[in-house]
């Protein structure tokens, strides 16, 4: 699978060793509120199950900075040249100032 490097962050597939970092950063009621399939509270078992799941019609990437999962981005319902996209970002990185490694102005 592809790994993409940006300034201060990496997009790469999730690894089982990401489970604790994923659970710590996604376990936020606002992530649950603005996404369709992320439960709250989000347990370590939820993280392991998500990382271990395989679905040929979905692609998920971890957004990694300083060896921590700070978000995720996924594509599903992929057909030909169309797909649904969803993403979440740890609270610390939302509407971040320019000194943080990644900046998303809207959404989760």
Q: What is the CATH number of the domain that holds 46?
A: 3.40.630.30
In a domain, 16, yes or no: yes
Domain-located, residue 101: no
Q: Is residue 106 part of a domain?
A: no
- pLDDT at residue 102, as a whole number: 52
- Whether 62 is in a domain gets the answer yes
Per-residue pLDDT tens digits for 66-82: 999 999 999 988 888 88
Determine, yes or no, domain membership for 30. yes
Q: In degrees, to the nearest 5, what angle opens at C-alpha 60 toward C-alphas 16 and 33?
A: 100
Task: Domain count for the chain, please give it.
Answer: 1
Domain around 20: 4-93
Give dist(CA 21, CA 23) in Å, integer: 5
What pTM does this model have? 0.84
Question: Domain for residue 107, yes or no?
Answer: no
Instruction: Identify the residue with better confidence: 78 or 39.
Output: 39
- Across the range 22-45, mean pLDDT stands at 94
């Amino acid at each position: 699978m592809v790994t993409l490097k940006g300034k201060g962050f990496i997009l790469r597939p999730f690894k089982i060793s990401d489970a604790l970092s994923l659970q710590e950063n996604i376990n936020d009621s606002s992530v649950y509120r603005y996404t369709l399939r992320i439960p709250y509270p989000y347990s370590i078992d939820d993280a392991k199950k998500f990382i271990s799941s395989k679905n040929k019609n979905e692609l998920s990437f971890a957004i990694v900075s300083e060896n921590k999962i700070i978000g995720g981005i996924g594509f599903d319902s992929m057909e030909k040249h169309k797909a649904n996209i969803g993403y979440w970002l740890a609270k610390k990185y939302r509407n971040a100032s320019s000194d943080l490694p990644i900046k998303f102005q809207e959404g989760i």
